[in-house]
Amino acid sequence: MSGAPGSATTTAAPARDAGATRARPGGRGGRHPRLRRRTALAVLCAVALVVAVVALGLGDYPLSPLEVLRALAGGDGFASTIVLQWRLPRVLAALVLGAALGVSGALFQSLTRNPLGSPDVIGFATGSYTGAIVVIVAGGTSWAATAGGALVGGIATALVVYLLAHRRGVAGLRLIVVGIAVTALLHSVNSWLLLRARTEVALTANFWGSGSLALVGWQQLVPALVALAVLAPLVAAVAPPLRQLELGDDAARAHGTRVEGARLAVVVVGVALTAVVTAVSGPIAFVALAAPQLARRVTRSAGVPLVASAVTAGVLLLVADVVAQRIGTSPVPVGLVTLVLGGGYLLTLLARETRRSR
Amino acid sequence: MTDPTDASGADGADGAFGAGGPARPGADDATGAPGAGGAARPGADGATGASGAPRLSARAAHLAYDRRTVSAGVDVDVRDGSFTVIVGPNACGKSTLLRAFARLLKPRSGAVLLDGQDLAGLAPKQAARRIGLLPQTSTAPDGITVAELVARGRYPHQGLFRQWTDADRAAVDDALAQTDLVDLADRDVDELSGGQRQRVWVATALAQQTEVLLLDEPTTYLDVAHQYDLLDLFARLHAGGTTVVAVLHDLAQAARYATDLVVMRDGDVVATGAPADVLTEELVERVFDLPCVVVPDPVTGTPLVVPRRR
């Protein structure tokens, strides 16, 4: 606007031309942003389906995509058993649990207005692990007991972080900083618990703690699906006020948002999503951190998108799980794969954020 | 005032309202006293439509942040249909008063009334359908387009699960047209200039379709031409029937555009009334500690504060 001091009537035309020919990397502002986003989302969904079909065909008894589709439709006996009974729960778990992590990450990143604000960085996953270890050490062996411990641990951690970060409302950065501090504290608690435990108990806890989908069957998946089905409409309900919070507290309030109530609701829903996932699979790092930012770039959405983050995270976790099953001579927990991939991502993210804030 | 479209727009509004309405008693005489007077005053003529009943008022409102009291008990009325500008030195409580009007700050005691009704008794969305605010600071999410941001002003009109209606679309189109943003509707907000971006936030407030529009230092950080573009826009909205309440720093701008001035110091309202009646050398020296002469603005005839050499 340095050239023309006039109003938009004088500047709009040249500005639009510039928009049409602009080649700035990451440049946006096409004529139909909504259509472009829908297309990107449709492509993401298609990718998810393709990856899922391929993943269902992989294994000791390989199946072609066509055979997988036939098996899904209830075709010949043996292939159907393999696909529906053995492989589908795991693939579905990767997609759905990944999606839940993605939404949870998107909620927290949007709430804190910071790409670092994800449930694993803020400490809820670590808290879930603490809860699970306590249960395992105390002699709880069933899957339900461990899951329950994880659920309670995650929610309790969230409560502590929220209360510690609360000073005339919860601000984004304070939530992250308090969360990181609590995570560090919980890590040492976890180590202490494992060191005191008997070796085989520590091994069980350790395996659970690295996050794996290897032991997920229909029996574990169904309760999680039910829980997520209950949470889905709640996500839809907190989305509009969340979009208002993005505008800043004053604008949100001026538009009639109950800012503190909306923020608490977003935190509760986000924590519940992470807690359900952690209860089923153990803590899976970085999916919630990376997927929303990836989705935002792919769809070029306004703010952090919820649906696109869900699909992206589902694909990410599924791919990571496929890699985890095939990476070495014996399968490794998927949590380790996401840890390695996500760790690299976190480093670049931190490097970029610090460069920007300088 | 460099842009011909805007100037003509303001003139048009003036003409339409100035011609039909009765003269404002006293105002012209008072302006005439120091000198010229009688020239066109953008926005001021809209006040002719103002009735006597207050739209917004503070009644013994105790305004405070945590332990810091800003106003111990402030009383002030904003007339319906007025363009009220709140002025005063830094930290005098003018933004705080505006925040109380906008429900961003709840009075410790006393009350803020909208049409005689306690604001605290209104549901947030209900209040947001009647009072709009241009906040001092707000953030546009990355990658949001102009039309999308303006559409977020429709929130108070929407139900629990977002529903987009024809009324919403019409309100957004209307807000874009009024702020001259139709051609930029699909552009990214981050790509706009400061002046354009501020107009987008104005449009977002307009999309709320409120009878009252509150403006918290709307011209800060804008160059002088964009400041007047924006003020002319507010004058047009005022002429269209909106009650406008603004916090401004520039006394010349305040005098030009306001129908009513509210002068504050140390959390209290020191003077209220038409700019020509209120803005005297004695008052400016007392409130701002600024020795000055007040001369008529050569363009509009409104009082113009010129500091003395110190």
Q: Per-residue confidence of chain A (358 residues) as pLDDT tens digits?
A: 333 333 333 333 333 333 333 333 333 444 567 788 889 999 999 999 999 999 999 888 888 998 888 888 877 688 888 888 889 999 999 999 999 999 999 999 998 888 888 888 888 888 888 998 899 888 877 777 888 888 889 889 988 888 888 776 556 778 888 888 999 999 999 989 988 888 888 887 888 888 888 888 888 899 999 999 999 999 999 999 999 999 999 999 999 999 989 988 998 899 889 888 988 888 888 899 999 999 998 888 888 999 999 999 999 999 999 988 887 777 788 888 888 887 788 788 777 766 665 5
| A3 to chain B: closest CA residue | B193
Q: What is the pLDDT of residues B109-157, one digit of tens each?
A: 999 999 999 999 999 999 999 999 999 988 999 889 999 999 999 999 9
> A253 at the B interface (CB within 8 A)?
yes
CB contact under 8 A, B148 and A33: yes
| A22 to chain B: closest CA residue | B191
CB contact under 8 A, B152 and A255: yes
CB contact under 8 A, A6 and B5: yes
Number of neighbours of residue A54 by Cβ within 10 angstroms: 17
| A9 to chain B: closest CA residue | B180
> A251 at the B interface (CB within 8 A)?
yes
Q: What is the pLDDT of residues B151-183, one digit of tens each?
A: 999 999 998 766 788 999 999 999 999 999 999
What average pLDDT does the structure give for chain B?
A: 84
pLDDT score recorded for residue B161 = 64
Residues of A in contact with B5 (CB under 8 A): 6-7, 9-10
> A198 at the B interface (CB within 8 A)?
no
DSSP secondary structure code for residue A358 in this structure: -
CB contact under 8 A, A240 and B155: yes
Residues of B in contact with A257 (CB under 8 A): 124, 155
Q: Which residue of B188, B200, B206, B236 is the best one to mutate when testing the A interface, meaning the one whose CB has the most A CBs within 10 A?
A: B188
CB contact under 8 A, A12 and B183: yes
The encoded tokens of residue B240 equal: 């269209």
Question: A324 to chain B, minimum CA–CA distance in Å?
Answer: 34
Pairs of residues, one from chain A and one from chain B, whose beta carbons lie less than 8 Å apart: 146
> A20 at the B interface (CB within 8 A)?
no
Mean of pLDDT values over B238-247? 96
| A244 to chain B: closest CA residue | B152
DSSP secondary structure code for residue A73 in this structure: T
CB contact under 8 A, A29 and B138: no
pLDDT score recorded for residue A210 = 81
CB contact under 8 A, A7 and B5: yes
> A236 at the B interface (CB within 8 A)?
yes
| B196 to chain A: closest CA residue | A8
ipTM beyond cut 0.90: no
How many angstroms separate the CA atoms of A170 and A122, rounded? 13
CB contact under 8 A, B183 and A8: yes
Question: A177 to chain B, minimum CA–CA distance in Å?
Answer: 21
Q: Tokens 């990451």 map to which residue?
A: A26
pLDDT score recorded for residue A357 = 56
CB contact under 8 A, B128 and A256: yes
> A173 at the B interface (CB within 8 A)?
no
pLDDT score recorded for residue A171 = 66
pLDDT score recorded for residue B52 = 63
Residues of B in contact with A308 (CB under 8 A): none
Residues of A in contact with B153 (CB under 8 A): 255
Name which of A10, A168, A244 is nearest B152 (Cβ-Cβ): A244
Residues of B in contact with A302 (CB under 8 A): 141-145, 148-149
Question: A110 to chain B, minimum CA–CA distance in Å?
Answer: 9
| B163 to chain A: closest CA residue | A240
pLDDT score recorded for residue A28 = 41
pLDDT score recorded for residue A275 = 85
